[in-house]
A and B are shown apart, each in its own frame.
Chain A
Amino acid sequence: MNSIRIRLFAILLATTGAVWLFAAAWIYASTQAEVERVLDARLMEAARMVSSLITDHRIEPSAAVDAAIANAPPPPFKQADGSYSRQLSCQIWSLQGSLVSRSESAPATSLASHTDGFEETEIDGERWRVYAVVNPTLGVRVLVGDSLEIRDRLIGDVIKGLLVPGIVILPVLAVLIWVSVGRGLAPLTRIAEGLAGRSASELHPIDDGTVPREVRPVIRALNSLFGRVAEARDREQSFTAYAAHELKTPLAGLKTQAQIALRTDDSTIQREALSRISTSVDRTSRMVRQLIDLAAVDASQGAAKDEPVDVAVLVGEIASELETQLAANEVHVAVEFADRARQPAVLEADRILLRLAIRNLLENAVQHSPKGAEVRCRVSASQSEVVVEILDQGPGITVADEARVTERFFRGSTASGHGSGLGLSIVQMALDRLGGNLTFERGGTWFVARACFPSDRLRRASS
C-alpha cells in the first residue's frame, strides 16, 4: 500500500475492530457465566422454597409449585418478550417414582432422574437444566428446571445488544478515521501543493519551522537538494551569460568587418576585411569549442571513466593535431619523452579530461608563441606522478596574473587580444578533476607551464 492515508486508515480500523471483537468475546464469556450463576441460584431457591412450603403443610403441593414459580425472583436481564419467568418448570415426585404435582409449563415426564443438585437433561429434544432437592420428611423429590434454549437466547440477546450498535457505529467510525487521518496529513498536502505551484525558477527553501516534526527530515533533505540545484543553476546561468557576453565581441568584430567589406570600393580594404572575418571565424569557433569543453568538464563531475592512458602517446597525438590545425602560427611543437622505457607514463585516468587539459595547455602555448618559434613539450614519469611540461617563448604570465589566470574569461595583461580567456580555466578544472595541479615557471626566454598528474596508486591513497 503506497498511501499513508489508506495505510493508517486500515491499521486504525483493523485495531479498532479487533479491540471491539475482543471486548465482545470477553463480555460474552462473562455474561454467560453470570447468567448461569444467577439462573442456577434461582432454580435452587425455587426448589427449596417449594420443598419448604410443602413440608410445613401450609400449602398443597400443586399450589406450592405455582406459588414458587410465581414468586421466583425475576431474572436480572430484561427480555423483549418478557416470557422468561413462565419457562420455569417444577415437578414434585414421590420417592417411589409417582408424580405428585407439576407446574403448568412442566412436561409430564420426569425432568431428571437424579436426587440432588444440578443436572442437564434432554426431554423431547429440548435441553433442560434441572435442580433437584429431596424432601425426606414427605418422601418427595422436588425438581425445578428451565430450558437451556432460553438461557442461550438470553445471552444471545445481550451480545446482540452489544454488537448491533458496534456494527452501526463502525462505518461512522471508519468515516471519522478517514477524515481525521486526512486532517492529520494536511500539512503534507499543503507542502505538496506549495511545491506543485512553484515555477521552475522558484528554488527557495521550504520553511521547516511550520512543518510537523515528523516531516522535517524530509523537508531538510529537500531544502538541501534545492540549494544544490539552485547553485548548479546559478553556475550554469552565469556561465551562459558569460559565454553569450564573450561571444558578442567577436560577433561585433565580424559584423563591422563584414560591413566594411560590403561598402568599400577599395579592393585592398575589402580583402583585408575578408581575411579578418576568416580569422575571426576561426577564433570564435575555437572559443565555442572551448566553451563546449568547459561545459564537458563541468558535466564530468562524478562521471569520469578511468582507463589506462599513455600520456606520452596522447601528447604526441595532440601535438601533431595542433600543428596542422594551427599551421598559420608557424609554430613547431617538439615532443620529448624522458626515459620512457624505464618508467612508462601511464595514468589510470579519464582520457577525455586528460586530453582537454593537455590540449588546452599546449594550444595556449602555441597561441602565445611568436611566429616561427618552437614549443617544447616534455613528458616525464616517476613512481608517484606523471609530469607534462610545456615550454614556450611567448610573453608568459606575470606573477601578478598567475593567481587569476585560471579564472574564466580572465585575460592576462600580456594577452594577445585574441584569446578567449578560457583555455587555462579548462586546464585548471580538468586538473582539479584529475587530482593534478598546474604551476608556472620562468627560465630565460622560456616560460614553463607544468601539469603534474599523480599516478593512480597515489591518487587512490589520497582519496
Chain B
Amino acid sequence: MRLLVLEDDEILLDGLKVGLQMCGFTVDAVTSVADADAAIEADRFDAIILDLMLPDGSGLDVLSRMRRSGDRTPVLLLTAKDEVADKIAGLDSGADDYLGKPFDLDEVAARLRAIVRRGHGRAAGLLEWNDISLDPARMSASRDGMTISLSRREFVILQALMETPGVILSRSNLEEKLYGWQEEIESNTVEVHIHKLRSKLGASFIETVRGAGYRLRTLQ
C-alpha cells in the first residue's frame, strides 16, 4: 500500500517512514502543507497520514481541500492535541480515523489497514482468493493453515492484486505500490517478484495479461 505522510518533525517523520515500510507499506513523506497538496495532486495513495500543526498551515486544511475536490482517499490524523473537540473537528472534516501522539507503530499500521479495508468495502482483515489467504498484519500468506512466508516486496505485490481481484494491474501500477519517490526503480523487479510468488503459490495463481499487466486467475 502506498502512503503519504505529512509531518514536520523530521525524526518522527523518519520513524513513520522506516517503521511503516517495515510493516509492508510504501511511504512518501512530506513536511509541509504545500508539499502535501502537490503530492496529492500528482499521485494516488492508498491512505494519507496528516499531522495537524505545521509551519505553513494545518493538516485539516489539506483534508478539507481533498474532500472538496472529491478525493476519497482514507485519511488518518495524527496529532498531539487529544481533546475530544479536536477529535470531533478532525473526524467531521472528513478524516477516517484519529490517533494521538505518542502512538504505537503497530497501531498506526493496523488503523491504516482498517481504513483502507473499509475504503474497499471489506470488513474482514484477511484477504482471500481461491485457497490462499493473506494476512496483512503479519505480512504472510497461508494455504490450508500452512504459512507461506513472503518478502516485503512479494507481500506488497500480492496485497495489491488480492485487494482488487479480477482487476488487471499494470507493471507501473505495481511499481507505484513498491517504490516511494526517493527510491530508484529497478527495471525488472515486478517480473522477478511475480516469478517468486508463482513459485510459492502455484504457477496459475497469478496470470499475465499480455500487454496489460497481471491479475489473479479465476478458477474455472
Q: Which of A256, A264, A273, A415 contacts B16 (CB 8 A)?
A: A256
Indicate whether B209 reaches chain A with its CB closer than 8 angstroms.
no
A255 touching B22 in the complex, CB below 8 Å, given contacts A245-B81, A249-B12, A250-B9:
no
Q: Which residues of B contact A418 (CB under 8 A)?
A: 9-11
Could you tell me if B11 and A259 are in contact, using CB atoms closer than 8 angstroms? no
Main secondary structure of the interface of B (DSSP, over half): mixed
CA of A361 to CA of B15, assembled, Å: 30
The distance from the CB of A300 to the nearest CB of chain B, in whole angstroms, is: 28
26 A/B residue pairs, CB under 8 Å, sorted by A: A244-B80, A248-B100, A249-B9, A250-B9, A250-B12, A252-B12, A252-B15, A252-B101, A253-B9, A253-B12, A253-B15, A256-B16, A256-B19, A256-B103, A257-B11, A257-B14, A260-B15, A260-B18, A260-B19, A260-B22, A263-B22, A273-B18, A276-B11, A280-B11, A412-B55, A418-B9
Indicate whether A279 reaches chain B with its CB closer than 8 angstroms.
yes
CA of A254 to CA of B19, assembled, Å: 12
Q: Which of B8, B15, B105 has the most CB of A within 10 A?
A: B15
The distance from the CB of B182 to the nearest CB of chain A, in whole angstroms, is: 15
Q: What is the interface residue range for chain A against chain B?
A: 20 to 34
Look across to chain A and name the residue whose beta carbon is closest to the beta carbon of B99.
A252
Could you tell me if A417 and B31 are in contact, using CB atoms closer than 8 angstroms? yes
Q: Which residues of B contact A263 (CB under 8 A)?
A: 22
Indicate whether A413 reaches chain B with its CB closer than 8 angstroms.
yes
The distance from the CB of A132 to the nearest CB of chain B, in whole angstroms, is: 111
Q: What is the interface residue range for chain B against chain A?
A: 20 to 34
Could you tell me if B15 and A411 are in contact, using CB atoms closer than 8 angstroms? no
Interface string of B104-126 (1 = CB under 8 A from A): 11100000000000000000000
Could you tell me if B102 and A417 are in contact, using CB atoms closer than 8 angstroms? no
8 A Cβ contacts from A252-295 to B? 252-257, 259-260, 263-264, 269, 272-273, 276, 279-280, 283
The distance from the CB of B57 to the nearest CB of chain A, in whole angstroms, is: 10
Indicate whether B56 reaches chain A with its CB closer than 8 angstroms.
yes
Q: Which residues of B contact A66 (CB under 8 A)?
A: none
Task: List residues of chain B with CB under 8 Å of any chain A CB.
Answer: 8-12, 14-16, 18-19, 22, 31, 51, 55-56, 78, 80-81, 100-106
CA of A148 to CA of B14, assembled, Å: 120
Look across to chain A and name the residue whose beta carbon is closest to the beta carbon of B56.
A413
Q: Which residues of B contact A415 (CB under 8 A)?
A: 8, 55
CA of A251 to CA of B12, assembled, Å: 9
Could you tell me if B12 and A256 are in contact, using CB atoms closer than 8 angstroms? yes
Could you tell me if A254 and B55 are in contact, using CB atoms closer than 8 angstroms? no
The distance from the CB of B56 to the nearest CB of chain A, in whole angstroms, is: 5
CA of A253 to CA of B29, assembled, Å: 14
Could you tell me if A255 and B104 are in contact, using CB atoms closer than 8 angstroms? yes
The distance from the CB of A407 to the nearest CB of chain B, in whole angstroms, is: 12
Could you tell me if B101 and A264 are in contact, using CB atoms closer than 8 angstroms? no
CA of A274 to CA of B11, assembled, Å: 11
8 A Cβ contacts from A216-267 to B? 244-246, 248-257, 259-260, 263-264
Q: A250-B12, A260-B22, A417-B9 are in contact. List 13 more A-B contacts (CB 8 A).
A: A248-B101, A249-B51, A249-B80, A250-B11, A254-B102, A255-B15, A256-B103, A260-B105, A276-B11, A412-B55, A413-B56, A417-B8, A417-B10
Look across to chain A and name the residue whose beta carbon is closest to the beta carbon of B82.
A248
Could you tell me if A279 and B105 are in contact, using CB atoms closer than 8 angstroms? no
Could you tell me if B105 and A259 are in contact, using CB atoms closer than 8 angstroms? yes
Q: Which residues of A contact B15 (CB under 8 A)?
A: 252-253, 255-257, 259-260, 273, 276
Q: Which residues of A contact B100 (CB under 8 A)?
A: 248
Main secondary structure of the interface of A (DSSP, over half): helix
Q: Which residues of B contact A412 (CB under 8 A)?
A: 55
The distance from the CB of A384 to the nearest CB of chain B, in whole angstroms, is: 37
Could you tell me if B102 and A248 are in contact, using CB atoms closer than 8 angstroms? yes
CA of A274 to CA of B12, assembled, Å: 13
Q: Which residues of B contact A246 (CB under 8 A)?
A: 80
Could you tell me if B80 and A245 are in contact, using CB atoms closer than 8 angstroms? yes
Q: Which residues of A contact B31 (CB under 8 A)?
A: 417
CA of A88 to CA of B12, assembled, Å: 122
What 8 A-B pairs are tightest by C-beta distance, nearest first?
Answer: A256-B15, A253-B12, A252-B102, A248-B80, A252-B101, A253-B11, A248-B101, A251-B102
Look across to chain A and name the residue whose beta carbon is closest to the beta carbon of B83.
A241
Could you tell me if B104 and A259 are in contact, using CB atoms closer than 8 angstroms? yes
Could you tell me if B18 and A411 are in contact, using CB atoms closer than 8 angstroms? no
Look across to chain B and name the residue whose beta carbon is closest to the beta carbon of A264.
B22
8 A Cβ contacts from A375-405 to B? none
A259 touching B19 in the complex, CB below 8 Å, given contacts A252-B102, A413-B56, A417-B9:
yes
Q: Which of B8, B81, B103 contacts A252 (CB 8 A)?
A: B103
Look across to chain A and name the residue whose beta carbon is closest to the beta carbon of B54.
A411
Could you tell me if B101 and A249 are in contact, using CB atoms closer than 8 angstroms? yes
Q: Which residues of B contact A248 (CB under 8 A)?
A: 80, 100-102
CA of A280 to CA of B14, assembled, Å: 12
Q: Which of B12, B81, B102 has the most CB of A within 10 A?
A: B12
Q: Which residues of A contact B104 (CB under 8 A)?
A: 255, 259
CA of A272 to CA of B17, assembled, Å: 13
CA of A412 to CA of B14, assembled, Å: 21
Look across to chain A and name the residue whose beta carbon is closest to the beta carbon of B57.
A413
The distance from the CB of A257 to the nearest CB of chain B, in whole angstroms, is: 5
Look across to chain B and name the residue whose beta carbon is closest to the beta carbon of A414.
B55
CA of A279 to CA of B15, assembled, Å: 13
Could you tell me if B105 and A276 are in contact, using CB atoms closer than 8 angstroms? no
Interface string of A51-70 (1 = CB under 8 A from B): 00000000000000000000
Look across to chain B and name the residue whose beta carbon is closest to the beta carbon of A266.
B22
CA of A263 to CA of B22, assembled, Å: 9
The distance from the CB of A251 to the nearest CB of chain B, in whole angstroms, is: 4
A255 touching B102 in the complex, CB below 8 Å, given contacts A245-B80, A246-B80, A249-B9:
yes
The distance from the CB of A423 to the nearest CB of chain B, in whole angstroms, is: 15
CA of A263 to CA of B8, assembled, Å: 25
Q: Which residues of B contact A252 (CB under 8 A)?
A: 9, 12, 15, 78, 80, 101-103
